[in-house]
Amino acid sequence: MSSVKSYNRLDKNDAVVLLVDHQTGLISLVQDFSPNEFKNNVLALADLAKFFQLPTILTTSFEQGPNGPLVPELKAMFPAAPYIARPGQINAWDNEDFVKAIKATGRKQLIIAGVVTDVCVAFPTLSALAEGYEVFVVTDASGTFNETVQQAAWARMSAAGAQLMNWFSVACELHRDWRNDIEGLGNLLSERIPNYRNLMNSYAALTK
């Protein structure tokens, strides 16, 4: 019997983005990416969620404590999105409102990122997988204490069936074909990957 798994691509009509605990206090714990790099990656994921018009759910943990509030840029980008301020549950999946918001979308592909990777991302990922969801972890928009912890968290989630991606590959897999919108996606990538602007400048020169 073949052990090869089928390739289930991300589908913009079946995906929902979960941004978990990107809070002003917790972000100070992220050491596996530089602060500017991490912020850029998180906002890039948010950009593509808006570009592909994906349902997006925001959640925070114990805002009144040292974890702090959601970073303001995300709140500003998704003013109408479900916003679940969890009073204490560490695993977002233990919060009924969070799970209800996901189920209300009717979608089965979860694109998740958060802080910290080994807890705030890993715990709901494992819970969602156990309930039959497909989970795609955005590795570079999730951060933790160091690379050792990062690798252990990635291994745990991957072994359970999660797919590990970066935000760029998420964008490309959702887009499928450049002809769908060359300049739209190209400009999004250029805003978050400075070197990508060179490609778009070259393209613009050739198409004048």
Catalytic, out of 120, 121, 138, 188: 120
Rama region for 23: left / alpha / beta (φ>0; ψ in -120 to 50; rest): beta
Distance between CA atoms of 28 and 110, rounded to whole angstroms? 26
Structure tokens at 128: 């969602």
Q: Please answer whether residues 115 and 23 qualify as being in contact, where contact means their C-beta atoms are separated by less than 8 angstroms.
A: yes
Q: In Å, what is the CA distance from 41 to each residue of 35, 37, 172, 200? A: 10, 6, 15, 20
CA 20 – CA 13 distance, rounded (Å): 21
Residue type, 84: I
Rounded Cα distance between 40 and 34, Å, is: 10
The answer to whether 172 is a known catalytic residue is no
Residue where the block lists tokens 């991300």: 10
Active site positions, annotated:
120
